[in-house]
Amino acid sequence: MAEVAIENVEKTFVNEDNENSFTVFKDIDLNVEAGEFVSLLGPSGCGKSTLLNIVAGLEQATAGKVSAGGEPITEPGPDRGVVFQEAALMPWLSVLDNVRFGLKKQKLSAEEEMERAEYFLKLVHLSKFMQSFPHELSGGMKQRVAIARALALDPDVLLMDEPFGALDEQTRTMLHQEVQYIWEETRKTILFVTHNIRESILLSDRIVLMGTRPGRIVETFDVDLERPRKPSDPAFIELEEAINKKLAVEIDKVMREEIGDDYNSKKSALLYHSHRDMGDNI
């Protein structure tokens, strides 16, 4: 298992003509312990995906240090598995071959490859669909293939960017149980991006709330609740409300900048009822 260390990290995007630059965030410090489950929450645009992509090695930090298991991160590697919002499976390959494809670089024997792919498809309860093709699967099943594909590489670190963001509530609940089970079985280090407060409390050891303009860490919440967690538990609700309140302040800032003067008149109509009613999907 490996810890992820993010020290003093800054990301600035410069446009092609080198004239305009935009600093997404700076001075980001975050350590994810080996085997820890940490969620990143924050308003749209605060840099959650950018930070995750830097840890994945898909983006480079402009300044600061990022390492996994003590090794500096410069590019993607098999020690870090990534799951995105869209499963991005190869439509011409069966479920089994999609998972096997990811293993090609590991130079396993055909038998080992097969065993490994089957094991992880079983873990996500897709044994019966190994020969199916992606178009024959539901959205939730596709995400489970993507999770199996990432796990099959046996990464120390699992990076998940809104993996259940596009799914309905029921499927999402089912996958929460699966992810908890997988995490308990494998004790991967997990960095998980979400917009859903309830999801982050259900799953994480720690929740890191990010703010924007400039992107930064606003507060870290420890989730000291026994698993499995129940959203109806008073301590759960209390934490949910505390996070909701802080997040609302950050969203407020973004809305104020984006909508400007009209904001105050539109605010009550737009925002405040919607949060809880929409399952805190912001």
Ligand X SMILES: Nc1ncnc2c1ncn2[C@@H]1O[C@H](COP(=O)(O)OP(=O)(O)OP(=O)(O)O)[C@@H](O)[C@H]1O
Q: What does residue 9 show for φ and ψ, rounded to 5 degrees?
A: -85, 135
CA distance 120 to 122: 5
Q: Is 46 among the residues that bind ligand X (CB under 6 A)? A: yes
**Binding residues for ligand X restricted to 15-44, rule: CB under 6 A:** 22, 24, 42, 44
CA distance 96 to 93: 8
Q: Is 49 among the residues that bind Mg ion (CB under 5 A)? A: yes
Q: Is 212 among the residues that bind Mg ion (CB under 5 A)? A: no
Among Mg ion, ligand X, none, residue 45 binds (CB under 5-8 Å by kind):
ligand X
Q: Is 47 among the residues that bind ligand X (CB under 6 A)? A: yes
Q: Which of 39, 49, 143, 204 binds ligand X (CB under 6 A)?
A: 49
Q: Using CB atoms, what's the residue nearest to Mg ion?
A: 49
> Please, which residues bridge with residue 72 across strands?
67
Which residue, 43 or 134, has its beta carbon nearer to ligand X?
43
* # residues near ligand X by CB under 6 A: 11
List strands edge to edge, sheet with 4-14. 21-32, 4-14, 63-68, 71-72
Among ligand X, Mg ion, none, residue 272 binds (CB under 5-8 Å by kind):
none
| 141: helix, strand or coil | helix
Torsion of CA 271, 277, 279, 281, to 10 degrees: -20
Among ligand X, Mg ion, none, residue 103 binds (CB under 5-8 Å by kind):
none
Q: Which of 39, 50, 98, 194 binds ligand X (CB under 6 A)?
A: 50
Contacts of residue 265, Cβ cutoff 8 Å, sequence gap at least 6? none
Q: Is 172 among the residues that bind ligand X (CB under 6 A)? A: no
Q: What does residue 57 show for φ and ψ, rounded to 5 degrees?
A: 85, 10
Query: Using omega within 30 degrees of 0 as the cis cutoff, is the peptide bond preceding 155 cis?
Result: no
Among ligand X, Mg ion, none, residue 94 binds (CB under 5-8 Å by kind):
none
Which residue, 49 or 212, has its beta carbon nearer to Mg ion?
49
H or E element: which one contains 82? strand 80-83
Residues that bind ligand X (CB under 6 A): 13, 22, 24, 42, 44-50
- Which residues lie near Mg ion (CB under 5 A)? 49
